[in-house]
Amino acid sequence: MRPAIFLDRDDTLMEANSLPPPPPPGARGDVVNPELVKLLPGAKDGCERLKQAGFALVVVSNQGVVARGAGTMQQVQDVNARLAELLGGNLIDAFYFCPFHPKGNVPEFTREHPWRKPAPGMILAAAVELELDLSQSWLIGDAQRDIEAGLAAGLPKSHCILLNRDTTLRSAAAQICK
């Protein structure tokens, strides 16, 4: 078993909330066009450092855009593929995303789901499927629900890092790898 870094996608690795939303029923932060994917400063450097330190890198992302009907599963996968390409193609070990949202418009996705953060489902599924050691793993995200998901999955509190204006992925990687 190996340790992992669980990474939120939007506003952790790539810009999201600063972009214009897709047409209604899209919401601020929804990214469905791969051409709009832009890495945040320090994202690639931080991922490279974490990978070199021996961590599996796993993206765990709520994608309620699918439930709202403003994007498709394929569009989410296309954005993920573009993100992986910009990061260098082989840094991310796996992408997990939750297309469900209780206030959606698409009946098959309009509900709460154990994968939807702050629930720990994506992290727990990745741990089993990728044989990850949660006791040695970390989570990096930009929202409190990311931290809550990490804690609910059993990650140590000190291993859940909330990014802000002063803490970038690069500085979080430096903290983890010191």
CB 12 within 8 Å of CB 147 = no
Is 146 part of the annotated catalytic residue set? no
Task: State how far the Cα of 59 lies from the Cα of 38, in Å rounded to an integer.
Answer: 16
DSSP notation for 95-109: EEEE---TT-SSGGG
Give the CA distances from residue 56 to residues 5, 67, 178, in Å, rounded to whole numbers and listed in that order: 6, 29, 17
Choosing from 10, 30, 142, 146, which is the catalytic residue?
A: 10
- Rg (C-alpha) for the chain, rounded Å, is 15
Choosing from 8, 30, 142, 146, which is the catalytic residue?
A: 8
47 is written with which tokens? 């991922």
Is 8 part of the annotated catalytic residue set? yes
Which residues form the catalytic set? Answer: 8, 10
